[in-house]
Structure 1
Amino acid sequence: MAVLLLQLSTMGVCHNECGESRCGRHGPRIRFPFRLKHIDPDHCGYPGFDLTCTHNHHTLLEFPALPLPIKLQVNYIDYTSRYISVSDPENCLPRQFLRLNHSSISPFHFLIMPDSLYFSTIYFFNCPPNKFSCPIYAAMSASSVDGAVLSSTLIFCTKLNETIPSSFGYTSLPQNELGLWWSKPNCSECEAQGKLCKLNTIGSQDVIQCFDRPPKPISKMRYVAIVTGVSVGSIVLLLHLLAFFKIYRYFRSKGEDQARLERFLQDYRALKPTRFSYADLSRITNCFRDKIGEGAHGVVFRGKLSNKILVAVKMFNNSEGDGQEFISEVGTMAKIHHVNVARMLGFCADGFHRAIVYNFFSNGSLQKYIGPPDMENFLGWERLQQITLSIAKGIEYLHYGCDNRILHFDINPRNVLLDDHFIPKITDFGLAKLCPKNQSTISVTAAKGTLGYIAPEVFSRNFGNVSYKSDIYSFGMLLLEMVGGKKNIDMSDEERCQVLYPEWIHDLIEGRDMYIQIEDEGDNRIVKKLALVGLWCIQWHPVNRPSMKTVVQMLEGEGDKLKSPPNPFDSTTSSMGTRKNTSVPQRHLIHGLEIIHEVE
């Protein structure tokens, strides 16, 4: 682009030395023997042929005279005939002509008309300014009527002695037009050849030489249009290149992800999971018509492997992440065989299409059954106790029953599905991490999980190290949400996110004001046991939380033997008094915490 603009500038946008110029768009073209005074160099014109430009872009020719020089406006220049047409800018040419007639107009001459055409005499009158715009009036009469009355309008004027011989052709003088011509320099031959002429600097000053016309200068508007076009074109080209580069990087990254995925699947081929193609999934889901859910990492569709086997197909988002969620979930679920963990039937890794196929659970997620006892979907406290015990056993299996410890990091009611017999199945292992059983802690790069169920140490190291105890905190919040029949997080305010601490649980346990009314004594014991286990699980410091083996024992045992954990907002242990919840600004909760770097 810079090269092109440089070429444009050399094509005549700037003033070209001894080239052609003009004062305005409609003014006469100025070239040798004429030149613009104070602009063109002296050798670009012939002596006496200096022109100037006014602020109105008019072209003026100046003649020396006393007391002031005579300035006439140039209307037209004929370089072939060596003719120039001038007029008075003040529309009073007869007055200027009388001054010229007594002055030198060299190197120009008055234009002489052929004797056979015009034989007239021009008379000059001095008229009052209030009758005529020009005080000198020029009138022409036929030569045969010498001294006749010319016009009744001249009765107020005085005839001057000045007359013009009939051998001069000034018939246009009353119309404010005067013709002049020059004899030297004579560029007629050059003009006839379509060339320009200039002084021969080597020889005599009167000798001229012809040369080819320079390239036509580009007008300012055309120059602006060209520069704008080039600039816009360059920007569009640059945007296309950037888009191409981003697309190239995107597909290269996707290709690397696909290669890593294929290496991962090679390692898990020994587990013999079923691998489906994208066409298989389209057939199983009837072209993905029945959408049954949507999460952070993908969309879930219902499908059929046969008339008797219903499946759920989780399609992962192609545009998000590098496929690590898919690898994590497939790698985790392929190793799991437990009645309370969803079983993976197969997967799809066809190009950029990634999906997991697992059993379809008709009763949906546990989320739809959490609510007050008087709601329509309430399952009863006995069944809820069995569900919580089964979930605890499933988490216990993840922590202790596999070759490696599996940390789920996203235990919440939406990720617990219920089959036809209301047996819970833990699902969605997109955030799961594997670690050796002898490793007590794990490092993470950022907060993992669903807000309201994320353990404090995942946000800040001040509460302790991230470990399997983080899943226990999430399970405790799930328990308390089941007991209270409502969510433990308030998202009504966009600026602030309130994580609700259930202080009413302590009132329930200690027999004070009841948040919920339970008439049956057996149900009351179940509720208190679930509440106590939940409170133990949500202790702020991980070291104070029980292991999942202990949680299972607590749920299977008698609730009367359980001790109540301390209330973090009790006036004896905290200055916060009877505060019912903790309000945590969401932006500070996430961005103001120390980041713990992940170790693979």
Structure 2
Amino acid sequence: MKKQAQFSCSYAQKLASIFASILLLFHEKSLAKHHQPCPISSCGKIKNITYPFRLKTDPNHCGDTRYELDCDENGASLTMFSGKYYVQHIDYKRFKISLSDAGAVEDTNCSFIPRYFLYDRSFNNVLFGEEDFGSEPFVLDPISPTRIAYFSCSNPINDPRYVNVDTSHCNIKGNSHVYAVLEPSLFEYSVEDIKVGCDFMVATLAKERSENTKEKVSYDEIRGMIIDGVEVSWLPVICESRCGKGTSCKVVDEKSGEVQCDKRFCHYAYQTTDKCELQHQIFGYTRAYLRGIFIGLGSRITFSTRQLDNPVGLEYFDGGIFIGRNVIPLFIAARIVFGVMLLLVLFIYKWRRRHVSMYDNIENFLLESNLNPIRYEYKEIKKMTGGLRLKLGQGGFGAVYKGKLRSGPDVAIKMLTKFSVNNGQDFINEVATIGRIHHVNVVRLVGYCVEGKKSALIYEFMPNGSLDKYIFPKEGIVPLSYEKIYEISLGIARGIAYLHQGCDMQILHFDIKPHNILLDEDFVPKVSDFGLAKLYPANDSIVPLTAARGTLGYMAPELFYKNIGGVSYKADVYSFGMLLMEMAGKRKNSNPNAEHSSQHYFPFWIYDQFKQEKDIDIMENVSEEGVTVAKKMFMVALWCIQLKPSDRPSMNKVVEMLEGKTESLELPPRPSFYPNESYKHHDEMNSDQTSWSDSSSIGQTSNNYSLDNDS
């Protein structure tokens, strides 16, 4: 047994010795193999290929497999980002290699168009703060390369930045036009600069332009830049191998390739620093966080749907993007919704208070005023009108219906459906003015109604309607004689004069026009519609007015031009003059369709006839007395429509002029539209050019349109 044990032990020792000898022999061969010198490799114009580069045919221990080169008839090529790039030059002193797109090298018949997409974001760049910068074989200096983008456009582009590419030998579908666009710097070109009808094809990087970048570039130059290639660096890998991970280095001698190791550096946002203390880290992360917030918020504001890159390489940056893109917009949206709801509640509250206040104002006015008009209930209004059945017309603030009082007389009832627009001021104006007036030439207010939102004004009924249908006659309307028109004009003048000086308060109407003159059964005129009227002390010659009011074509010029005089009762004088001119001419004052410029504005034409002592031949089948009356009305109207208020007569003077003789009236200065206006007249105006036809009122876009009130 003892001999058998000794034999087993001896046998095991021999086996162990043999196994150790084999391992030692294998290790020595392996060391010999790794210490064998690498052969000098070359491929085309690239000579002396050394570490870290290697050819596929080189021994396995030569070079770095990440920098493995292929060799074909076009030269040495490198696979980068799944794309093939030909090596144009390797600078071992500066640790830089120039690479050209294989499409630009191989497809020479197709204008050297690149085959692969290559852009700044293709690289994990050490300049952008990648902590594991040594893991990538190449990095890119984002300042030096030129960016080139190719676009396929459906139509020719006229832009010096778009360089035409000859694609006649290319296999491109359709009749598209291909353009190359240079972007010399990172911020010179944006998506907004892409032309309509252009589609992006490919983008690549090329070497920096050596010429003046302001000069126009040709495609031959672009092609040369692409062939020369873009420079990328493998310096971070050298820094890691020579200085250790997490340490930067720099080339101190480009002749010898000597590098100097720096301190361990940290990456905070877009900067690399050797200050790695806690406060610097907090500052750097905060910057990255805030930058992410702003970028995320910007992408949300611009409705960008693309995936945002993280150039900082920090989770804090991603967190900032999430907050900027989702949390802050959600917070702002919630604030806006809450604010809108709050404003809506406030608006409803104010609206209710405003209307309650408006109704209180009207109620207080009616209680404090000793007025003759009778107050009716709304149910009485409906009974008077038979349920608002017979509608006489429609005004800007409601409809007018015909009704009948219990005592028998007919009335016109204006339902103010929109009186709340100006806090019930039109209602108060009507009641305050007409309620205190008793004159044969001013319409009489019989009564009123105000119940909450419902309000109405009750006037005496005028069976012959408004004056406009008689001075602008239509079919079925018997025209009035000049004698009757004269009587009506005199009655209107007396009514306005009473408003100005016949009451304890001065009442300015501000809306004298044919539509607001009503005629009773005997054609006695009544001034109506006091919705724009204003009450002022009788001794006020100039009255305050915050906004122009009235109907275009009848409004006094001082309502627009403050430098010709203040607003006063002379504004009503001007409106009456325009009305009187239309009554005498039985037509509108403006005729934009006239054949001759002298006929465009009726008052100017009338003045020229008087000035040249020509007959006014617009009146057919008119008696001599009617012609005389018409001339008097024309003359008075010309006085009333003088540009400056101080040149116009008062309404009492107008009444005197209308009651007096025509021969006693002097021709006033020529009226004008604007201050300092100069007129060009025809030297010769033949009598066959002096006809006049109906035209629409100046500035009127719809019937009886008013600036402050449609009536």
| Class of the TM-score when normalised by the shorter of the 2 chains | 0.5 to 0.7
Matched, 1:411 2:512: yes
Report the equivalent of 2:429: 328
Same amino acid, percent of matched pairs: 45
Report the equivalent of 2:466: 365
CA contact (8 A) 2:401 2:412 kept: yes
Query: What aligned pairs does 1:110-189 form with structure 2 within 5 A after superposition?
Result: none
Which of 518, 523, 544 is the matching residue for 1:443?
544
Report the equivalent of 1:342: 443
Query: What aligned pairs does 1:116-515 form with structure 2 within 5 A after superposition?
Result: 241-268=342-369, 270-306=370-406, 308-316=408-416, 317-371=418-472, 376-489=477-590, 500=601, 502-509=603-610, 510-512=612-614, 514-515=616-617
Letter in 2 for 1:253: R
Which of 655, 658, 661 is the matching residue for 1:555?
658
CA contact (8 A) 2:419 2:426 kept: no
CA separation in 2, counterparts of 1:410 and 1:569? 21
Letter in 1 for 2:383: R
Query: What is the TM-score when the length of structure 2 is the normalising length?
Result: 0.46
Report the equivalent of 1:516: 618
CA separation in 2, counterparts of 1:507 and 1:373? 29
Which of 648, 670, 684 is the matching residue for 1:545?
648
CA contact (8 A) 1:291 1:302 kept: yes
Cα distance, 1:538–1:335 mapped onto 2, change above 3 Å: same
Report how far residue 543 of structure 1 moved. 0.6
Report how far residue 321 of structure 1 moved. 1.4
CA separation in 2, counterparts of 1:318 and 1:476? 30
CA contact (8 A) 2:509 2:534 kept: yes
Unaligned runs of 5+ in 2: 1-324, 594-598, 683-689, 701-711
* DSSP 3-state at the match of 2:421: coil
* DSSP 3-state at the match of 1:301: strand
Deviation track 1:277-317 (CA, whole Å, cap 9, x = no partner) reads 22221221222222212223332111111373111111221
Report the equivalent of 1:533: 636
Which of 651, 663, 670 is the matching residue for 1:567?
670
Cα distance, 1:553–1:574 mapped onto 2, change above 3 Å: same
Report how far residue 484 of structure 1 moved. 1.9
Cα distance, 1:560–1:538 mapped onto 2, change above 3 Å: same
* DSSP 3-state at the match of 1:503: helix
Decide which structure has greater helix share: 2
CA separation in 2, counterparts of 1:559 and 1:253? 55
CA contact (8 A) 1:508 1:514 kept: yes
More divergent stretch after superposition (315-324 vs 347-356): 315-324
CA separation in 1, counterparts of 2:567 and 2:451? 35
CA contact (8 A) 1:334 1:344 kept: yes
Letter in 2 for 1:516: I
Report how far residue 499 of structure 1 moved. 9.2
Report how far residue 340 of structure 1 moved. 0.5
CA separation in 1, counterparts of 2:559 and 2:677? 23
CA separation in 1, counterparts of 2:499 and 2:619? 36
CA contact (8 A) 2:590 2:697 kept: no
CA contact (8 A) 1:302 1:311 kept: yes
Cα distance, 1:277–1:372 mapped onto 2, change above 3 Å: closer
Query: What is the TM-score when the length of structure 1 is the normalising length?
Result: 0.54
Cα distance, 1:390–1:281 mapped onto 2, change above 3 Å: same
CA separation in 2, counterparts of 1:301 and 1:244? 37
Report how far residue 517 of structure 1 moved. 3.2
CA contact (8 A) 1:404 1:435 kept: yes
Report how far residue 354 of structure 1 moved. 1.8
CA separation in 1, counterparts of 2:547 and 2:600? 19
Report how far residue 393 of structure 1 moved. 0.6
CA separation in 2, counterparts of 1:563 and 1:311? 43
CA separation in 1, counterparts of 2:494 and 2:339? 59
CA contact (8 A) 1:361 1:419 kept: yes
CA separation in 1, counterparts of 2:475 and 2:339? 64
* DSSP 3-state at the match of 1:271: coil
CA separation in 1, counterparts of 2:504 and 2:680? 46
CA separation in 2, counterparts of 1:584 and 1:377? 22
Report how far residue 244 of structure 1 moved. 3.4
CA contact (8 A) 2:641 2:671 kept: no
CA separation in 2, counterparts of 1:271 and 1:429? 16
Letter in 2 for 1:540: L
CA contact (8 A) 2:469 2:477 kept: no
Deviation track 1:419-444 (CA, whole Å, cap 9, x = no partner) reads 00100111111111111221111010
* DSSP 3-state at the match of 1:481: helix
Aligned residues, how many?
Answer: 357
Report how far residue 240 of structure 1 moved. 5.1
Cα distance, 1:272–1:479 mapped onto 2, change above 3 Å: closer
Deviation track 1:214-248 (CA, whole Å, cap 9, x = no partner) reads xxxxxxxxxx9999999999977765554333222
Cα distance, 1:286–1:241 mapped onto 2, change above 3 Å: farther
Cα distance, 1:569–1:475 mapped onto 2, change above 3 Å: closer
CA separation in 2, counterparts of 1:502 and 1:374? 26
* DSSP 3-state at the match of 2:422: coil
Deviation track 1:131-155 (CA, whole Å, cap 9, x = no partner) reads xxxxxxxxxxxxxxxxxxxxxxxxx
Letter in 1 for 2:385: T
CA separation in 1, counterparts of 2:541 and 2:608? 35
CA separation in 2, counterparts of 1:390 and 1:455? 21
CA separation in 2, counterparts of 1:586 and 1:424? 26
CA contact (8 A) 1:529 1:559 kept: yes
CA separation in 1, counterparts of 2:467 and 2:401? 18
